[in-house]
Amino acid sequence: MLTIGKLGEAAGVKVPTIRYYEQIGLLPEPERSAGNQRLYGKSAQDRLAFIRHARELGFPLDAIRDLLSLSDQPDQSCAAADIIAKEQLAAVKARIAQLTALEAELERMIRQCAQGTIADCRVIESLSDHSHCAHDHDVPTAAAE
């Protein structure tokens, strides 16, 4: 059995994150020691590793919840998991397209800069007024999840 700190070390996840995952139901409530200390077994460590890897791949928490639910039913078809993965792939491709547009816009801004004074700086001008940009490049932030 692992304490919350040891579990965090083993999985590469901070203790507050583990508590948060418990709070939102991604991790089950752990057993408690006689001194009321959280104790985790191998299944919690495996589940936390699954969550961490899914987060690294950019899956939102709701998708992870669905994938965990599916993984708890190993005899089911994996069609639902495939759909979730395809949705994530589409989101990643959309993000790549947005980042590619941002890259092009930043390169254009830098190329147009005459490197004179700030009064004539195209970078400052473009950042001050979106109409100077070549395309719409609004990229949602990670906090929008």
Instruction: Kindly report, residue by residue over 88-135, the tens digit of the pLDDT.
Output: 999 999 999 999 998 988 888 888 776 777 777 777 777 777 776 776
Per residue, the 3-state secondary structure of 118-141, as one string, reads: HHHCHHHHHHHCHHHCCCCCCCCC
**Average pLDDT of 29-41?**
90
Indicate the pTM of the whole model. 0.75
pLDDT at residue 106, rounded to an integer: 86
Determine the pLDDT at residue 144: 44
64 and 87 assigned to the same domain: no
R_g of the chain, CA atoms, integer Å: 22
Tell me which residue range forms the domain holding 39.
4-71
Going by pLDDT thresholds of 50, 70 and 90, the confidence category of residue 142 is very low
8 and 66 in a single domain? The answer is yes
Query: At which of 20, 41, 71 does a domain end?
Result: 71
